[in-house]
Chain A
Amino acid sequence: MKRDEALGIIERNEGAPQPAEVRMYNCKDSINLLLEFLDGEMSPEDAQHLREHLRGCSPCVDFLRTYRATPGLCKKALAAKMPKEVSEKLTEFLRSKIKSAS
């Protein structure tokens, strides 16, 4: 078994398969698991593997930060206010419906 320091991956020798838990996460694994990680739904063992990867991988840390910032930024960008005339029509519509229902 050799260890690739740059990628943080323990590579398996052919013919000598290693148990899955021995393999460290690479960037792709980490990014696939970010939702579970941020939701706090990973097993402690998997979360530990992910943290180990993040400790040695600054592109992934930047990725994690920007992934986490994405929902808030989109929420701000997509905020919408009801136009005044639509709002007036809504009030009128509801009043007429309430009146006819009562």
Chain B
Amino acid sequence: MSDEAVREEDRELLSRAQDGDVSAFEALVDAHRDKVYGLALRMTRSEADAAEITQDTFLSAYQHLKDFRGDAAFGSWVHRIAANHALMRLRHRRVAQAAEQELQGPEFTERGSLADYPQTDWSRDAEEKALDAELGTAIQQASDRLPEGYREVFLLKDVEGLSYEQIAEATGDSIPAIKSRLHRARLALREAIDAFYNRDSREL
């Protein structure tokens, strides 16, 4: 089904749910629960927290159904609610956050050149090849190693597809700060993937 067809179906279900049709709301939950759960799991790295956040998200959505005017897609709206619930939970958990770790980026010469550190272009491979399980694990571990604030921004922008404005609203951070963290998170993850591909080529 195309994205537009999904949105149209959501609009239809939403309208019925707003008129009190519980089965229409359940159908919306069925359609979006995996994405909400995935977001919560990626952000909290805890299955128990992810399950609770998913419950809280859909409960909030149900309680505010009448307020939702359908300006955005239902999926985006629920995503933002889930992101807020996940961030709240992380804040509670983050009592004594470790000092910001140094993120690994590319190596340059003294003059700021990559010339002595040639890059491997694995971008085409990444697009065409089905994701290797080992690479998937390497990415998961690299994502887990990111400092919390960087991981949040990366997940919300690059994995969940929220806009900078939505992330700023959800996190309370400024857009320049969000962009700076996103860039550094991407550099660190790119570095981890690069290490994986280079390790592979060395083994051949």
Contacts and interface: CB of A to CB of B under 8 A. Distances in A.
Interface in B79-127: 105-106, 108, 111-115, 117-124, 126-127
B186 A71 contact: yes
Contacts of A1: none
A84 B189 CA distance: 31
A87 B26 CA distance: 12
A76 interface: yes
A57 interface: yes
A93 B186 CA distance: 37
A12 to B, nearest CB: 13
A30 to B, nearest CB: 9
A72 B122 CA distance: 13
A6 interface: yes
Interface string B20-42: 00100110010001100110011
B194 A91 contact: no
B33 A67 contact: no
A42 interface: no
Nearest to B183: A35
Given A63-B114, A82-B54, A74 B139 contact: yes
Q: Determine chain A's interface SS by DSSP, over half rule.
A: helix
Contact of B55 (A68, A79, A94): A94
Contacts of A6: 113, 115
A28 interface: yes
A62 B157 CA distance: 23
Contacts, number: 158
B47 interface: yes
A74 B166 CA distance: 21
A7 B111 contact: yes
A34 B131 contact: no
B158 interface: yes
Nearest to A11: B111
B193 A70 contact: yes
A65 B121 CA distance: 7
Contacts of B159: 71, 74-75, 78
Contact of A90 (B58, B63, B131, B135): B58
A60 B25 CA distance: 49
Contact of A59 (B50, B118, B154, B189): B118
Interface in A50-102: 57, 59-63, 65-83, 86-87, 89-91, 93-95, 97-98, 101
Given A59-B114, A66-B119, A72 B127 contact: yes
A26 to B, nearest CB: 4
Interface of A: 4, 6-7, 9, 26-29, 31-32, 34-36, 39, 57, 59-63, 65-83, 86-87, 89-91, 93-95, 97-98, 101
